[in-house]
A and B are shown apart, each in its own frame.
Chain A
Amino acid sequence: MNLPVKLENISLEQRLDNISVTITQPGITCLLGANGAGKSSLLLVLAGLIEPEQGKVHWGQTDVYATPLAVLSGHRCFVAQQHSIQFELTGRECLQFLSPCLSSDIPGELIRKLDIADLLDKPVSRMSGGELQRIMISRALLQVWPAIKSGNAIIVLDEPLQGVDIRHQTVLMQWLSALAKVGNQIIMSCHDINIANTFADTVLLAKAGQMLAYGPTRDVLTLSNLWLTFDCQFECLFKDEQRHFIPVRHATGF
């Protein structure tokens, strides 16, 4: 069970230009686009964290920018692209201090799926980028843990796979797929077209602050759309009826 996330005529400081889209079905929606395409800005706007200059954001009947942040935070979480903790907090302290709903122990499922048991007592300054990313994803999920369990959460992730190794990427995406199946809405940006192709239910392609295409992954991820989005040629290989996109090496380089 989840409500549609509806964006109407969103414009923001030359970063987003009149974007309208309704993400109806619960599942994983992947935002793809080149650097500076407006993916992060779009995620911030739909998460209720940056009010657009123009346009409205609704989660079901809820007008996001007319609702207090404390109310939104009960069932929406957000993972930023960059983290900057200036103090020597441990992984456990990050989870305890930054998640409002943590009243008892950290759920074992979260520790297992994100493989953070060894990170709980490690100071953030000694963590690698990928380890910190896993802690910050855990923090965000912990914030809406009751909503996730009841299939009501809106999980917004800005490049969550950045720095994360391939094994943890796969485990995380499989778990997010499972969470999406019970009704949670997962909206994320990434740069890996094959991850989007494998795990996303819908894909939104963005370019220069505008939306190029939105729809089911199989319909939107086409060679022509990828060319339009990235100005880069791909070829599509099939294996076991699964598509794989490989960038074509350009003779003179890109």
Chain B
Amino acid sequence: MSAPASKWTLGALGIVLLLCFSALLASVWWQADTTAETRWYILVNLQLPLAITATVVGAALCVSGAALQVVLRNPLADPGIIGIASGASLMAALVLILMPEWMVSTLHYSMPLACFAGALLSTAVIYRLSTRLRGLNTAVILAGIAITTLTSAVMGWLYLFADAQSMRNLTFWVMGSLHQADGWILLWSAPLIAGSCLLIISKGKTLNYLYNGELTARSAGIDPTHESKVVLIACALAVGAAVAIAGSIAFLGLLVPHYVRLLMGFDNRVVLPASALCGGVMLLLVALFSDLLPYASLPVSMVTASLGGPLLLYALLKGQFK
């Protein structure tokens, strides 16, 4: 895609994102039998956090997925598949279950911190494995599956010891939800996600050099080790913050960048911002869809996995993943 066409497409995606964001806020006015005062209350306290959560979480997961695929040189890398999100979820679950009662008031601060720690830890493990098993392209995915299996096992054990309320909270981390975030936790997480995403997007040109591995990048004047570490830490922060506010959301970080590349080419200067915008749009649509349903809100992972599973199978069958 040519440079002017890319700019127009990114501009159009930005407008679509704004429209979806506005539609989600405006959906308050579709609800019958509510007073104007109630509508304003819902708008400020429920819909606005929901819209911000959907936008930043979608952007964080998709931009991280797009960057991880290049840095780990594996088109199947995704924060969920390679275990970053599950590392963050596990730490969140441990905090929920093991935190003494007198510390519950610190949950707003301790939860994002725990998620970052979990995400950073699993990212470090994945990075070490990917550098040690250089050339084994499937090793990263297998390592991610191992981490995810291990965290699932620990979560399973936690379920055994959890009380009823903790079990409900744990389910939120496993299934993902856009409705849990409140203003306080968003105040911490949204700027962090925005900063991390902007940092990753600013590395678009550098990531282009990594397409043919470290040697070509070094030859072109890039320090791939340093740049990979910067991008991985930014991804871990973005994913950690996303998990802190919305739990674990499957498939989004794999599929959105894949289809963005299919439609817009491989230039990371375009792929990264387009993935961020499309990710935001996708989760806003999920939130909007969920709002329109007359009964309880849908777990996000259920929707993304229902869409993502068949699309992934289709992409595999068409040979779009090597």
Contact = CB atoms under 8 A, between A and B. Distances in A.
Contacts of A89: 211, 266
Contact of B261 (A87, A94, A97, A136): A87
B221 A86 contact: no
B267 A97 contact: yes
Interface string A204-246: 0000000000000000000000000000000000000000000
Interface stretch (B156-164, B182-190, B212-220, B239-247): B212-220
B220 A86 contact: no
Interface string A22-62: 00000000000000000000001001010000000000000
Chain A facing B: main interface SS: mixed
A153 interface: no
A72 interface: yes
Given A69-B223, A87-B75, A98 B216 contact: yes
Interface residues of A, number: 33
Interface string A81-114: 0011111110001101111100000000000000
Most chain B C-beta atoms within 10 Å of own C-beta, residue among A44, A83, A85: A85
A49 B215 contact: yes
Contacts of A97: 208-209, 211, 266-268
B191 interface: no
Contacts of B70: 87
Contact of B220 (A68, A85, A100): A100
Interface residues on chain B, size class: 20 to 34
Contacts of A143: 219-220
Contacts, number: 82
Nearest to B219: A78
Contacts of B261: 87-88
Contacts of B137: 86
A91 to B, nearest CB: 12
B74 interface: yes
A35 B267 CA distance: 37
Contacts of A80: 213, 215-216, 219
Q: Name which of A76, A96, A98 has the most chain B CB atoms within 10 A of its CB.
A: A98
A140 B219 contact: yes
A251 interface: no
B213 A93 contact: no
Contact of B218 (A49, A71, A83): A49
Interface in B198-217: 208-209, 211-213, 215-216
Contacts of B209: 97-98, 100
Contacts of B132: none
A197 interface: no
B219 A86 contact: no
A130 interface: no
Contacts of A7: none
Contacts of B222: 69-70
A28 to B, nearest CB: 19
Interface of A: 44, 47, 49, 68-74, 76-78, 80, 83-89, 93-94, 96-100, 125, 136, 139-140, 143
Interface of B: 70, 73-75, 135, 137, 208-209, 211-213, 215-216, 218-223, 261, 265-268, 320, 322
Closest 3 CB pairs of A and B: A73-B221, A97-B208, A70-B221
